[in-house]
Amino acid sequence: MRRRKTPWRDRAGRFSALKFFSVIGLFVPAILLALDWNLGNLGPRPITEAIHTTGQWTERLLLGALAITPMRFVLHAPRLVLVRRMLGVGALAYALAHVSLYAFDEKFRMLHVAAEIFLRFYLTIGFVALLGLVALGVTSTDRATRWMGKGWKRLHRAGYAIAALTVVHYTLQARPNISGPALAFGIFVWLMFWRALPATQQQSPVALLLLTIAVVPMTACVEAAWYGLFTGINYRRVLAANIDPDMALRPSGEAAVIGLAVVVVATLRWAGERRKQGQGSALDPPRDKSLGSLSVKV
- Which residues are CB-neighbours of 292 under 8 A, at least 6 positions away? 78, 81
- Which residues are CB-neighbours of 276 under 8 A, at least 6 positions away? none
Band the pLDDT of 187: cuts 50, 70, 90. very high
Q: Are 136 and 298 in contact (CB under 8 A)?
A: yes
d(CA 161, CA 167): 10
Domain spans, the chain: 17-291
Band the pLDDT of 292: cuts 50, 70, 90. very low
Q: Average pLDDT of 205-230? A: 94
C-alpha Rg value of the chain to the nearest Å: 21
What's the pTM value of the predicted model, to 2 decimals? 0.87
Q: How many CB atoms lie within 10 A of CB 74?
A: 22
pLDDT in tens, 34-87: 999 999 999 999 999 999 999 999 999 999 999 999 999 888 888 898 899 999
* Burial status of residue 98 (CB atoms within 10 A of its CB: 0-12, 13-18, 19 or more): buried
The distance in angstroms from the start CA to the end CA of the chain is 31
- Which residues are CB-neighbours of 158 under 8 A, at least 6 positions away? 132, 135, 136
Band the pLDDT of 155: cuts 50, 70, 90. confident
Q: Which of 145, 5, 129, 128 is nearest to 61 (CA)?
A: 129
